[in-house]
Chains A and B, each alone.
Chain A
Amino acid sequence: MSTPSHNYSAIVIGAGSTGSAVAHDLTLRGFAVTVVERGEIASGTTGRNHCLLHSGGRYCVKDQESAIECIEENMILRKIMPDALELNGGLFVAITDSDMDYKPLFLEGCEACNIPHKELTADEALKLEPNLNPEVKAAVWVPDGVFEPMRLCLSFLATAKSHGAVVRPFTEVKGLLMEGGRVTGVHVWDRIENKEFDIHADVVINAAGPWAEAIAEMAGIDVPVVPTPGVMVSMTGRHNQRVINRLNKSSDGDIVVPQRETSIIGTSSWKVEDADYIEIPEDHVRLMYERGAEMLPVLKSVSPRGIFTVARPLIGSRGEAEGRELSRTFKCFDHADEGVEGFVTISGGKTTTSRAMAETTVDVVCKKFGLEIPCTTRDTVLLSYRAFYTL
């Protein structure tokens, strides 16, 4: 396939999963791309996430739009990203009567959202996962998986680099260049060279996650991003082979994600103003141990290896819905709607849906330039993350 020919250039702010996927999609659609990231690749929200490749099961009852996005993207990433995924499946487990009451709703939700699933008896579940609470009453298998968040970003970026993208970690945006009502580039601080300079482009895409609001403010625009952290506790040793989810409505400590040599209990939800450094509430950590051990009692007797937290960039109005109530879907804002041309913000969403977020964003960008170039990221197998360093 030949690269579409036009001479437009784009700057992507942020090299988390969203910015990385956007950069990849833009290069495939012929844009000359520069990615600027103030820290290391994936050093913000994406790096510190729970590493769950969602099947959509978590959202299939209350937030079916998100659930459908998740299962579609889960199946696509399996095909295009072989180096960044552990495909180990997941179980939703019922421990209490209340969990059993939720089970029919969950099964209906899986059907409605086309999530492959299989009901298991308590014995079958215990045979698959011997560390499960012996009180387990039933379980449902779904195609959850696990990713390595930094490698996921590096795979997108390596492929983008192979198509000409310039990726600049440790390059912080200090201001947006404006001409009339138009954003024409970014003023950046190169933190390695300790130099400030301008980079110009035809369009600037704000994929700064929980920091997207601060970036948009530089153009005088208010973006309703609510930084909503959650606590995760990485335990010593891996105590489950599959993702273990609580078969009930979303709540704190309702999931244990196995990855490499650890089981990670998560998560909680609250709101913060400043996402740069987040204090970890001690009661949230205690709750993780308690709730995690309800599903895997062995977690009571092992020590934590590390505790971490980071803010999700959820979309919503500040001061309104609580973190749990905010939808996990994403939204792309073309700021031409507020009278500022050449500037687009993408926020919300999840790492699992980063490819779809990029597709939507680059569709918006192409439309701004009157370009009709189809998205091809669904079928483009990505390079290994190692190529990011060797290209």
Chain B
Amino acid sequence: MSWQITYKIKRYHPDQGSRVDTFQVEIEPERTVLDGIELIWAKQDRTLVFRHACHHASCGSCGLVVNGVEVLPCIKLIQDATTDGGTLEVEPLRNFPVVADLVVDMAPFFERMQLIGMPIVGPTGPLPGQEPDEYTAFENCIECGLCLSACPVVATDSKYLGPAALAAAERVIEVSEGRLSDEVLAAVDNEHGLWRCHAAFECSEVCPSNVDPAGRIMALRRRMTFERLRRLVGAKG
């Protein structure tokens, strides 16, 4: 049985500015918020632009703010997002430049991720019967940007490196069992890096992939603090 859902979608066009468009959608509760958006595009408004590809939380392209909360609409079922007759307010991610409608510019984000250089694929943990270098797995972070959208510090400090990149730096140290390059260290260990986070934990709340960026930022702080103390003690000794 289909539900009647009202989608209120924030629209933006470079020449026309912003507005909110309302669409009535008939959709099964087991389908996703993203399916509803695609249905609007297919049957009601071909001018609507939005990002999507894998529809199962792997590609990280479809992130949106739905009813005020960052989600991947591809894994948000209608029945978990609202009720029959309910409304879904859909906006693009916060803290990213909006290109049009629900499409944001990810380039600045990927520049930071590339600078940190977190591997994209790594060896899996030891699993029964595995040859050591035969099996690989993707890193958990799908680089969707939800954590940056939810972060109150990113909202006020455009130079802040942001939760995804800081979590990536911690991951680089973990997988390489070593240190960060001087360039990455300089980006991480400054007032717009590691020490800018004020531990709101919003990033970990919205992360769809269990990366726990806030936990990793705290771990990185402990690591850096220990490193500073060690240097200090070493200098005195």
Contact = CB atoms under 8 A, between A and B. Distances in A.
A305 interface: yes
A162 B110 CA distance: 16
Given A42-B53, A43-B52, A384-B120, A260 B209 contact: yes
Q: Which of A191, A193, A260, A264 is the most central at the interface, judged by chain B CB atoms within 10 Å of its CB?
A: A260
B218 interface: no
A84 B209 CA distance: 17
Contacts of B136: 85-88
Interface residues of A, number: 53
Contacts of A260: 57-58, 137-138, 140, 142, 209
B53 A41 contact: yes
B172 interface: no
Contacts of B75: 234, 305-306
Interface string B9-49: 00001110000000000001011100000110011000101
Interface in A236-263: 241, 259-262
A151 B52 CA distance: 12
B128 A127 contact: yes
B129 interface: yes
Interface of B: 13-15, 28, 30-32, 38-39, 42-43, 47, 49-59, 61, 74-75, 77, 99-100, 103, 106-107, 109-111, 113-114, 120-121, 124, 127-129, 134-138, 140, 142-143, 209-210
28 contacts: A40-B51, A41-B53, A46-B53, A83-B121, A85-B121, A86-B121, A87-B134, A87-B136, A88-B136, A128-B128, A130-B128, A148-B54, A148-B138, A149-B59, A150-B53, A191-B49, A192-B14, A192-B103, A232-B56, A260-B142, A277-B42, A280-B31, A306-B32, A306-B55, A385-B120, A390-B107, A390-B111, A390-B114
Interface of A: 39-43, 46-48, 51, 82-89, 124, 127-128, 130, 148-151, 170, 191-194, 232, 234, 241, 259-262, 264, 276-277, 280, 285, 304-308, 384-387, 389-390
Given A88-B136, A148-B54, A151-B120, 5 more contacts: A40-B50, A150-B59, A262-B56, A280-B28, A308-B74
Closest 5 CB pairs of A and B: A47-B53, A389-B110, A150-B59, A277-B42, A150-B53
